[in-house]
Amino acid sequence: MTGYSFQIELDDMTLARARRGDRQACERIFRLFERPAYTLAYRLCQCPEAAQDVLQDAFINVFKRLHQFRGEAPFWGWLRRIVANQAVSSLRKRRPEVSLDQHTPLELGLGSDDQRRVHDAMDANELLRRLSAEDRTVVWLHDVEGYSHKEIADLVGYSESYSKSRLSRARQQMRHQLQHETALGACGTMVPQVSVT
């Protein structure tokens, strides 16, 4: 399966046409970036509907502000920032989520296919989903998008040190969660020894 990447180069001609309001060029840009943009929105929001709204609002914003893009940095970086901003803004409008340490552990069955189920349950997105929105945003932007703490701080509106501490805390929580699931999985795969006498 194709991995996630926002780093898609856009040719100057399409960009120039889109700046002039050429709908075909705008659609080409949308088609090029809709999947990475939706993926970023979904990873942060963890809700298909919210991610769809973020995608839509972000692109409307992009095409309105296209004349502001100076071309000094890659287009994808500029677009990604608008999507991330939109996602953070969307998260702020939503009701506060339950953070990771308030979650109960995964409920795993203990049947014979437990190992696979544990692997499924340990799916990285599941662990990501269990983080609070703030922690998830910091983890994804830092560890996947490669944002610096300063960039994250600028985006979400708090200090760099706060971003660092959120990241550290989130990683620790994910690590604990992973260990916990692994332990459960190991127990689940054990077949009780019944002696027949």
Partner 1 sequence: MSKYPLKLSELPMMQPPRDGWDVIEASLPERRQRLRIRSGLAAAAALFVVAVSATMFFSMRSDLLPAAPDQTALERLVTISQRMEDQLAKLRQSVSTLPSSQAILVAELEDMVAVLDQQLGQSPDSEQLWYQRVTLLTDLLGVYAMQTHDNPALMASL
Closer residue to partner 1 (CB): 48 or 157: 48
- Residue selected from 8, 10, 15, 82 as contacting partner 1 according to rule CB under 8 A: 15
Answer whether 36's CB lies under 8 Å from 19's CB. Answer: no
- Residue selected from 7, 48, 96, 101 as contacting partner 1 according to rule CB under 8 A: 48
H or E element that contains 112: none
- Residue selected from 12, 102, 191, 193 as contacting partner 1 according to rule CB under 8 A: 12
137 CB-near residues (< 8 Å, 6+ apart):
44, 87, 88, 91, 152, 156
In the chain, the N- to C-terminal Cα span, in Å, equals 52
Instruction: Candidates 48-56, 83-91, 100-108, 185-193: pick the segment binding partner 1 (CB under 8 A).
Output: 48-56
Instruction: Candidates 77-85, 92-100, 152-160, 168-176: pick the segment binding partner 1 (CB under 8 A).
Output: 168-176
Tell me which DSSP letter residue 120 carries.
H
For residues 2, 181, 87, 16, the Cα torsion angle rounded to the nearest 10 degrees is -10
Residue type, 152: I
Residue type, 5: S
**38: contact with partner 1 by CB under 8 A:** yes
Instruction: Candidates 108-116, 125-133, 155-163, 185-193: pick the segment binding partner 1 (CB under 8 A).
Output: 125-133
**111: contact with partner 1 by CB under 8 A:** no
Answer whether 43's CB lies under 8 Å from 125's CB. Answer: yes
Given the rule CB under 8 A, which residues bind partner 1? 1-5, 11-13, 15-17, 19-23, 26-27, 30-31, 34-36, 38-39, 42-43, 48, 51-52, 55-56, 59-60, 63-64, 71, 124-125, 127-128, 139-140, 143-144, 171, 174-175, 178
